[in-house]
Structure 1
Amino acid sequence: MFSWLGFWVVPPPTNDLVPLFPWLGVVLLGVLAMRLVRQTALLDKLAAIQPRNRLARVLAWMGRWSLVIYLVHQPLLLAIIMPLSMAMGTQEAGREIDFLRSCQSSCEASGTTAALCATYCQCGLEGVERDNLWEQVFTGILTAEDQAVLDRNNRQCSQLIYPDLNAN
């Protein structure tokens, strides 16, 4: 609910999300600095500066048109980068990393060692890939059959790190 403020445990997978709270301090410092500058003659001196070389003029133009540049470049970049990333398979690599990271933290929170958790989570990842359950795992929409397959995989992975479970 308050993730747009920057209050989240795990940052959402997004291209450019700038949460409010971490940057609010920077904005307030800018407001304070400008108020101090307006009380001096420095503002008039800064306004009188004229860019003399081409680079300075380009930077000044970009500063005046920054919102338009930002609004135009976002759809263009997404139109180019998203298809490229999908074609290159970066989505799959990202979801595997997210899966392993989430599994590792959940496993370690239960008191299992990091090494055993790494083995367990890798086993779980292989099971999800083998049974083609990515969509169901990430959406959380599981049929009874999907849940049974995941439960079977979890038991197999648990037996891998806790061989004593084989006796039961």
Structure 2
Amino acid sequence: MKPAPGQVLHFSEDPAITEFAPHVAPTSNEKDAFVWAVGPERCPDYWFPRQCPRAMAWTGPATTAEDRDRIIGAGCGTRVHAIEYGWLKAMQEVELYAYRLPAEPFEARFENAVVATVPVRPLAPPERVTDLLGLHEREGIQLRVMRSLWPFWEEVISSSLEFSGIRLRNARR
């Protein structure tokens, strides 16, 4: 599930949104109000239940072969996502929706997302995103299920891989 040219996506468990209004997320360090969306390269970061903690790593221009082989695995692709066992059932059962939004009012102000400062209406009704495990498989993204994300996360952030962690505050300690 990725946007067409001229579009960005917003993923939500709410299928009834008719307009996205700029807001300050309760957990955000940002003081400005935004509508958040993602382009095609960051869509896989959101193929999860909203509150699911996830640690993600992928190769980039500065990634060493040693780090790639150690963390992702030799011959195992270029990207790995990790979740905890406690989230696997939710990952399989979540009702997730993708809203297609016009790319025009959005700008790349952050590394992992694009934002708009004006209200944005979806281009069409939301599309149900099904089989999140299958999406990962089709994109060649490893999906690891672990007891705890923290040991993996510590390895990732001290490596030469590029990475992102979302909802890590919800991960087991």
The TM-score by the shorter chain falls in which range? under 0.3
- Larger Rg computed on CA atoms: 1
Structure 1 length as normaliser, TM-score?
Answer: 0.19
Kindly indicate whether structure 1 or structure 2 has the higher relative contact order, using CA contacts under 8 Å at least 6 residues apart.
2
- Higher percent of residues as strand: 2
